[in-house]
Structures are given as structure tokens and as C-alpha cells.
Chains A and B, each alone.
Chain A
Amino acid sequence: MREKVIQILEDVCESDEIRDNADVDLFEAGLLDSLGTVSLLIEIEKVFGLKLGPTDITHEQVATVDNLVAFLESKGIRA
């Protein structure tokens, strides 16, 4: 699960620094923006089959690797 999330975020943010900085706020670091958030929704749909709308996630829920893992688990995703 965690590995898949890191992979998704590295793709979406076009950065390979995420693995080593799992608790960095991706919005504050300038790695994630509105287009990034949309791409993230598409990737989550592709990888986990969970279809989400733009207002179903808050910035905080996807701002770090750990937050995103926790958010997906809260949606019942186990992988």
C-alpha cells in the first residue's frame, strides 16, 4: 500500500525526492498543485479503483505520504 502510494505521488509530482521525505507537505514544497491534485485523483482511480471528486479530498488528506495512506485506508482500501 505505502509503496504504491509513494509510486503514485512520485509520478504525479514528477519528483523522486518523495520517498526520502515522506512527511514533507507536498503543497508547501511546491510539488503538488491543482493539476497535481487532479492527476492524483486519476491515479487513485486507476490503481485502487476508487473514484473520487475534487471536493472529496482536502489538501490535508493528501499533503503527505502518511496522510494519503491513512485517507485511503479510511476509505476501505487494503492493498
Chain B
Amino acid sequence: MEIFTFFLKAIRHLQSFVSLSGLDLSEYGSYLFLGLLLLVLLPAVILGILQIRSRIYGALASVGMSVILIWATKLGMRYFVFFVVFQMALILLYDVIRRRTAGRLLYYLFLLLSLAPLLVYKFSSLTGSNLLGFLGISYLTFKTAAMIIEIYDGSISNVNGFRLFYFLVFFPTLSSGPIDRYRRFEEDTERKISRHDYLTDYLPNGIRKIIMGIGYKFVLAYLIHTFWLVTIPSAHTFLNTMNYMYAYSFYLFFDFAGYSNFAIGASYILGVKTPPNFNMPFLSLNMKDFWTRWHISLSKWFGDYLYSRLTLNFLRKKIFADKHAASYAAQIITMLTMGFWHGFTVYYILYGLYQGVLLVLTDIYERKVPFHKKHKNRFGYQIAQVIITFHLVCFGFLLFSGYFFN
């Protein structure tokens, strides 16, 4: 009986949610957006079946969708246009320069310029002015900074202007990732997809991901938010805090993983296999494992472009004699940077520090504690590991939520 009234209530809430969100156009955030998405993806399906590569259509659709998405946020359209033109100029210019010289000074200059709009935006947001800010600036900066780094490495060269433009404005991942890589994206958009592959792989998997996105974001995240998260009394008692911690963690996961599924599904339909962002993060064995399962494209970005390069430099320049010490320093710096990236706010920075310290402690524990080495392959021990890790993760999200500062 209780379940029955629960469902009745749920349906009523969903109905009011639909009517309220009638004018909401946030990416994958509303039914209106979903309708628009369907409309834009339909021609891509037809092109896919006709075995015509859809990158020109994809680029046109992306321009249209970015205009709608950014216009809907009512700010930053001109900043977005400026950003894309500025970053394209930087990348194409550095590509030409890099073929003549591998000078470090020029490399750092271009890297700094590539990060500059995001830095200006983050610093100006401290004063509430949001200069240069637009929807997706953080995620776009990841793409462009990575390109400068790989051009310096010599891994990317002869960048094609159109493909670069398509990579930057590709609308499925515009506002919040997953963060793709240029070389991978380019390979995907150059590939000729046979009708068979499109109909047995890209299209069905794309649709499946979008349906999963609906289930995660519009059903589960919505239900958790409405019937659990917002019903928790605001007094910070121990029980309320615990309750909020679990509710917020599940909400965050289903909301973000739902969004990511939408983005990946829409990408597949356009013939691009955008990389995954989540892989059952609440079943992680330890915090190191967690970062290979949670917001994967972000943690890989930080792993490849910050952590690995810091550790490599520490060891090459012999700043640390011990490789583990080098790795610990790099882990703390990386996680702190991730905290700052989320926002220049005390609780984001604390969250970064918390994650860095946990990674270091995890490594020390696994290398030094005989109890771990002896039991690590036992099922019961692994269950205990999963439960403890789950709670460490949830506590991290509680810090991240700003609950302690409300």
C-alpha cells in the first residue's frame, strides 16, 4: 500500500516537473532539450544508414546546438565565439611554430595563453563578475590545453582547421564532457562506418546509452533528489549529516552518469565513440581504483597531463630520489589542482586535498602493511575494502557539496 502511494506521488511529481521545466534548455537537462536532440540526431541516423560520413552535418548541428545552449544560459555567447577563434588561432599557430622549434619558453607561453581565458574567468568569478565565462569553458579548456601539450610532444602535427573546429564545438560533450582527445576524435570522424556497423553498433548502443541517461537522470536522480535529498532536515545532527551524505552521493552519481550517458549516446549516433566516464565507482576496492571508475575522462586527463608529467620531471631532474616520494608529491599537487579547477572555494580545495592525501595513504597502506598483502585476495577482505572505500568516497562528496559551509 505504501509503495502504491509512493508511486502515485512520484508520477504527480514527474508531471509537475515536466510542466515546470517547459522552458529549461540546459544540456540533457529537460524534456525540451531531449526533443531538440531527437530532431537534430534524426538526419545523422539517415546519413549513417546511407553510409555518408556525418562530420559536416555534425559540425553544422554543433554550431546550431551551441548557439541554442549558450543562448539559453543568457550569457557568454560572444565569449564562446571569442574563445573558439582564440584557441583555434593558438593551436594552428603553435603547430606551425613547433615544426621549426621545440623551445620550452614558447611552449610554456602558448600553454599559458591556452589556459588564460579559464584563469581570467575563475579569478573574476571571485569578485562575481564572471568575465569571459560561458557554459562549458572548463571542459573546452581541457581539450585545447591537451592539444598544445601534445603538439609540443610531437604527437599532434599538421592540424586541420575544420577538424579542429569540429572537435572543439562537438555539441554532445560541450557543456560537461566526457573530455575527448583530439587524435582519438579525429580517427573516429575520419573512419568510414559501414551500414552494418552503424546499424548493429553505433545506433543501437547510442540509443541504449540515451535510454540509460533518461533512467539515471530523469528517473533515479530526480527521485533521489525529490523524495530523499530535499526532505532531510537542515539541522546538522550526526544522523542528518550521514543521511545527507548518502543521498547526495547517489544523487551526484546518477545525475552526472546520466548526463554522461546522454552525451556518449548522442556522440555514437553521430559516429563518434566518446570515451566512458563512469564504471561502477561505488564498487571500487580502494581510492586508486575509484579514480579509474569515477569521472574517468577527467581523472585520465589529470593523470596524463599533470600527474605523469610532474612525476616524470621530478625523477628526470632528480628532485626526488625516491620514486614513491615523487609520486606522492605529484598526487597531492594534481588533486589540489583538480580542487581549484572545480572552483576557488574553500570546500573544493579541501576536497582536492582530501583526495590527494587519501591516494598517498592508500599507496603506503598497500605497500607497507603485511595484513593487506596477506589478505588482499580474500573475498571477505575485498568486501570490507569496498564498504570502507564507499564511505571514504561519500565523505569526499559531502565535503565537495559544501554541506559543512551551509
A61 on interface, CB distance cutoff 8 Å:
no
- Distance A9 CA – B311 CA, assembled complex (angstroms): 18
- Distance A54 CA – B302 CA, assembled complex (angstroms): 11
Listed A/B pairs (6) with beta-carbon separation below 8 Å: A39-B323, A41-B312, A42-B312, A54-B308, A54-B312, A56-B155
- Distance A38 CA – B308 CA, assembled complex (angstroms): 6
Closest to A39 in B: B323
Cβ 8 A contact of B288, one of A33, A42, A55, A56: A33
B153 on interface, CB distance cutoff 8 Å:
yes
- B323 contacts which chain A residues (CB < 8 A)? 35, 38-39
Are B153 and A38 neighbours in the complex by a CB distance under 8 Å?
Answer: no
B315 on interface, CB distance cutoff 8 Å:
yes
Closest 4 CB pairs of A and B: A54-B308, A53-B153, A35-B327, A38-B311
Closest to A38 in B: B311
A64 on interface, CB distance cutoff 8 Å:
no
Closest to A35 in B: B327
Q: How many contacts between A and B, using CB within 8 angstroms?
A: 42
Besides A55-B150, A55-B155, 7 more A-B contacts (Cβ < 8 Å) are A35-B323, A38-B312, A42-B315, A42-B316, A53-B150, A53-B153, A55-B304
Q: Contact flags (1/0) for A23-41 with B, using CB distance below 8 Å?
A: 0000000000111011101
Closest to A54 in B: B308
- A37 contacts which chain B residues (CB < 8 A)? 308
Are B155 and A35 neighbours in the complex by a CB distance under 8 Å?
Answer: no
- Distance A60 CA – B157 CA, assembled complex (angstroms): 23
Are A35 and B311 neighbours in the complex by a CB distance under 8 Å?
Answer: yes
Are B308 and A34 neighbours in the complex by a CB distance under 8 Å?
Answer: yes
- B309 contacts which chain A residues (CB < 8 A)? 53-54
Give the contacts of B304-327 with A (CB-CB under 8 A). 304-305, 307-309, 311-312, 315-316, 323-324, 327
- Distance A56 CA – B312 CA, assembled complex (angstroms): 14
Interface residues of chain A, those whose CB is within 8 Å of chain B, are 33-35, 37-39, 41-42, 53-56
Cβ 8 A contact of B155, one of A38, A41, A42, A53: A53
Q: Which of A34, A37, A56 has the most CB of B within 10 A?
A: A34
Q: What is the distance, in angstroms, from B274's C-beta to the closest C-beta of chain A? A: 17
- A34 contacts which chain B residues (CB < 8 A)? 303, 307-308, 327
- B308 contacts which chain A residues (CB < 8 A)? 34, 37-38, 54
Closest to A55 in B: B304
Closest to A42 in B: B315
Q: What is the distance, in angstroms, from A44's C-beta to the closest C-beta of chain B? A: 12
Closest to B307 in A: A34
Closest to B289 in A: A30
- B307 contacts which chain A residues (CB < 8 A)? 34
Closest to A41 in B: B312
Closest to A30 in B: B376
Q: What is the distance, in angstroms, from A46's C-beta to the closest C-beta of chain B? A: 10
- Distance A50 CA – B288 CA, assembled complex (angstroms): 29
Closest to B334 in A: A34
- Distance A34 CA – B312 CA, assembled complex (angstroms): 11
Are B315 and A38 neighbours in the complex by a CB distance under 8 Å?
Answer: yes
- Distance A11 CA – B107 CA, assembled complex (angstroms): 33
Closest to A34 in B: B303
- B305 contacts which chain A residues (CB < 8 A)? 54-55
Are A56 and B324 neighbours in the complex by a CB distance under 8 Å?
Answer: no
Closest to A52 in B: B153
- B324 contacts which chain A residues (CB < 8 A)? 35
Cβ 8 A contact of B304, one of A33, A35, A54: A54
- Distance A44 CA – B281 CA, assembled complex (angstroms): 33
- Distance A54 CA – B316 CA, assembled complex (angstroms): 14
Q: Which of B305, B308, B315, B316 has the most CB of A within 10 A?
A: B308
Q: What is the distance, in angstroms, from B366's C-beta to the closest C-beta of chain A? A: 9
- Distance A42 CA – B155 CA, assembled complex (angstroms): 18
- Distance A53 CA – B288 CA, assembled complex (angstroms): 22
- A38 contacts which chain B residues (CB < 8 A)? 308, 311-312, 315, 323, 327
- Distance A39 CA – B316 CA, assembled complex (angstroms): 10
- A56 contacts which chain B residues (CB < 8 A)? 153, 155
